[in-house]
Structure 1
Amino acid sequence: MPLDHAPARARILLLEDSPLDAELIAEHLEKISPVPEIRRASSRAAYMEALDERDFDVILSDFSLPDFDGMAALELAAAQVPDVPFIFVSGVLGEEVAIESFRRGATDYVLKQRLIRLPAAVERALAEARERTERRRAEHQKELLVRELSHRVKNTMAMVMSIVRRTARNSGTVESYVENLSGRLRAMADAHALLFESNWTDAELLQVLERTITPHEQGNRFHVTAGPLIHLDPKAALALSLAFNELTTNAIKYGALSNADGQVAIDWSREEIDGEPWLALRWCEIGGPAVSPPHEDGFGTTLIQRSIRYELRGETVLDYAEAGLICDIRFPLSASDENIIS
């Protein structure tokens, strides 16, 4: 059974020139659990040194000090550590002064004659500070997500527009255009759906492959020898999804899946090249009609090669062996990706 983490001790900067008052304040703060750490500053110099270190969660300050006053201490704190709660602990604090201190950013004030209020005031100030910090963190995260989404949408739309234009240029009929374009867009949609399920962090290679080939599976004609578990970042998942779609479409039209006996074998491994992990994947067609190199590369071949080369810094080798097409795809996996499992 997991153990609960104990709450961290609050760190308090106490600006107080009177040792006796400082001792009384410390005694009342012992009612907070866990008991906070207290750093006392008794002069302007010590206070400014503590502000520079920024190693505290709340400031408690007397209002009247020998070499400067509490308002000056508040202004220094507001300038250097504006997110740290500032509480006056004073023997005398008139109503007008209290209102002015709040206007300048003070969180609360506690009279030394009523130090019994101090623990609750400190805990409340700390809770409010944590809430503000969490709210800012959430807003910052939201802003990052919106920027990332905007970036991805722009890239996706650019890719879609390119695919639409190139598919139209390489299609002889409206029917072939619709078929080819639908397949490519479906491959992109499937990859996006898979990434969405993982909060757009990564996708397993095997899942990307299965999303592409499963709709075309007839009689176990795909033989997948799963290699190590590989998690792909979004760019790699989209590039491979498009590559698998082009290879599958080509196999159905011209290759091993164009007859009743052909099969496709797929396997992959993880390699180390110059200390960097690479994915090596092979698509091998057997039992289909004899193949030969085309007179010129079609858009499907170009799409595979360019996406692997330019998007993933990898390479694609197509071998039009008489027994069937062999496609070798290799590209470096992110060295910072901790989700690659041998």
Structure 2
Amino acid sequence: MPNSEYSAHPARILLLEDSVLDAELICEHLRQLHPEPEVRRATKKAEYLAALDDMEFDVILADFSLPDFDGMSALEIAHALVPDTPFIFVSGVLGEEAAIESFRRGATDYVLKQRMIRLAAAVERALAESRERAERKRVEQHRELLVRELSHRVKNTMAMVMSIVRRTAKGSFTVDEYVENLMGRLRAMADAHALLFETNWNEAALEDVIHRTIAAYIRSVERVIIGEAVPVTLDPRAAVAFSMVLNELATNALKYGALRHQDGRVFLNWSVAANEEGVPAVHFRWQEQDGPAITPPKSHGFGTTLITRTIEYELQGSVRLDFDQSGFVCDVIFPLRDPGCDDADGTPLSSGHVRDQEDLTH
């Protein structure tokens, strides 16, 4: 008795057989399979076509000769309608030439009615081969999806890199300043991508994004104090975008803000609450204290533009920058999930992500 472990679900078998006795004998041998298969019998062409139209089958068994039909025609129909379904001839008369021709046209196997003991094993083998083909096809489709997704992300990343390179150059006065600013921004992108890679490019914890980005700039991490915080995870697009914002905030704090002084501190906190549209959103605050006295800038540089545009375009949120004398404050609100985003990395299907990257810097 065949010992099949291929599935917990019974196989669905379409049996094309006009003889009642032969059909009963075939069903008796099929009962050796475990679990016992579900068999639907057709005796003529119209019933055969109706069965193929009604449901999907795992295997088709067909006699070679029928009163108003023939097995070769049934094979051709099956090959046209359900090409991936195994087709096995079960016939009392099937010469060598007919057998060779049936294989040439796509038959999986044939079993002589005089040797019906082979039937269960033949069906079991056909099911196993069919599952293997289906799994290979699924893996190949998944691979193609991953390649397309990777290509999409690389294109978006390169577009952002080119925009950052160009705009950083315009906002820098010396080569050293240009290199420093550019390397910081590219490092923030690389760190975010590395973090996402560790999570198999799924979601990343907001706190992990913060630690990874801040640690690249601030050796004394105790100067950045995380207060009120709730567990929040970001999708890949949001994680990369928010890391870019954090990079600009940290760079600004080191050059001009609280972290420029030894006693300066940065306090971070965030919560989740509904925004004005009633959508769950992250409310994030970056607050500097004990730094040098600051005054509002007369004009905004690329860093400020990058923060504002990233929050507005990439995160679909809002940002408020407060240059208070007691310390700089940045309040950010962005939805946890953009309802208009449908693809793997959150890119709106109605507009190109590459174009958004260009909008970020213009």
TM-score, with length taken from structure 2:
0.89
Aligned residue in 2 for 1:288 = 291
Per-residue CA deviations over 1:222-258 (Å, capped at 9, x if unaligned) read 1112522222111101110000010000001110101
The question of whether the paired residues in 1 share the 8 Å contact of 2:109 and 2:122 is answered with: yes
The question of whether the paired residues in 2 share the 8 Å contact of 1:206 and 1:226 is answered with: no
Q: Measure how far apart 1:334 and its partner are.
A: 1.6
3-state SS of the aligned residue for 2:225?
strand
Q: Measure how far apart 1:110 and its partner are.
A: 0.3
The question of whether the paired residues in 1 share the 8 Å contact of 2:167 and 2:302 is answered with: yes
Q: Measure how far apart 1:219 and its partner are.
A: 6.0
Per-residue CA deviations over 1:274-316 (Å, capped at 9, x if unaligned) read 4422111111111111222111111111111111111121111
1:303 aligns with 2:306: yes
Q: Measure how far apart 1:321 and its partner are.
A: 1.2
Aligned residue type for 1:282:
R
Alpha-carbon distance in 2 for matches of 1:158, 1:120: 57
Alpha-carbon distance in 1 for matches of 2:317, 2:92: 72
Structure 1 window deviating more from structure 2 (305-314 vs 223-232): it is 223-232
Aligned residue in 1 for 2:81 = 80
Per-residue CA deviations over 1:74-133 (Å, capped at 9, x if unaligned) read 111111111100000001101111111111111000001111001110011001110101
Alpha-carbon distance in 1 for matches of 2:283, 2:42: 63
Aligned residue in 1 for 2:238 = 236
Give the counterpart of 2:257 among 255, 258, 268. 255
3-state SS of the aligned residue for 2:330?
strand
Equivalent runs, 1:145-160 vs 2, <5 Å = 145-160=146-161
Aligned residue in 1 for 2:273 = 271
1:221 aligns with 2:206: no
Aligned residue in 2 for 1:340 = none
1:320 aligns with 2:323: yes
The question of whether the paired residues in 1 share the 8 Å contact of 2:16 and 2:43 is answered with: yes
Equivalent runs, 1:170-189 vs 2, <5 Å = 170-189=171-190
Per-residue CA deviations over 1:305-337 (Å, capped at 9, x if unaligned) read 111111121111101111111111111122689
3-state SS of the aligned residue for 1:220?
helix
The question of whether the paired residues in 2 share the 8 Å contact of 1:276 and 1:335 is answered with: no
Task: Note closer, same or farther for the CA distance 1:241–1:143 as it changes in structure 2 (3 Å cut).
Answer: same
3-state SS of the aligned residue for 1:250?
helix
Mark the runs of 5 or more structure 2 residues left unpaired by the alignment. Answer: 342-362
Q: Measure how far apart 1:6 and its partner are.
A: 6.4
Aligned residue in 1 for 2:116 = 115
3-state SS of the aligned residue for 2:165?
helix
Q: Measure how far apart 1:202 and its partner are.
A: 1.7
Alpha-carbon distance in 2 for matches of 1:206, 1:315: 20
Aligned residue type for 1:320:
F
Alpha-carbon distance in 2 for matches of 1:74, 1:125: 15
Aligned residue type for 1:155:
N
Alpha-carbon distance in 1 for matches of 2:308, 2:273: 20
Per-residue CA deviations over 1:184-240 (Å, capped at 9, x if unaligned) read 010000001011112212211111100011231416111112522222111101110
> Percent identity over the alignment?
63
The question of whether the paired residues in 1 share the 8 Å contact of 2:16 and 2:61 is answered with: yes
Aligned residue in 2 for 1:58 = 59
Aligned length: 334
The question of whether the paired residues in 2 share the 8 Å contact of 1:90 and 1:110 is answered with: yes
Aligned residue in 1 for 2:43 = 42
Aligned residue type for 1:67:
D
Alpha-carbon distance in 1 for matches of 2:219, 2:20: 82
Which runs of 4 or more aligned residues in structure 1 lie more than 3 Å from their structure 2 counterparts after TM superposition?
none
Alpha-carbon distance in 2 for matches of 1:226, 1:115: 74
Alpha-carbon distance in 2 for matches of 1:73, 1:304: 66
3-state SS of the aligned residue for 1:334?
coil
Per-residue CA deviations over 1:111-163 (Å, capped at 9, x if unaligned) read 01111001110011001110101101111111111111111111111111111
Q: Measure how far apart 1:53 and its partner are.
A: 2.2
Give the counterpart of 2:336 among 321, 333, 336. 333
3-state SS of the aligned residue for 1:200?
coil
Mark the runs of 5 or more structure 1 residues left unpaired by the alignment. Answer: 338-342
Q: Measure how far apart 1:55 and its partner are.
A: 2.4
The question of whether the paired residues in 2 share the 8 Å contact of 1:88 and 1:110 is answered with: yes
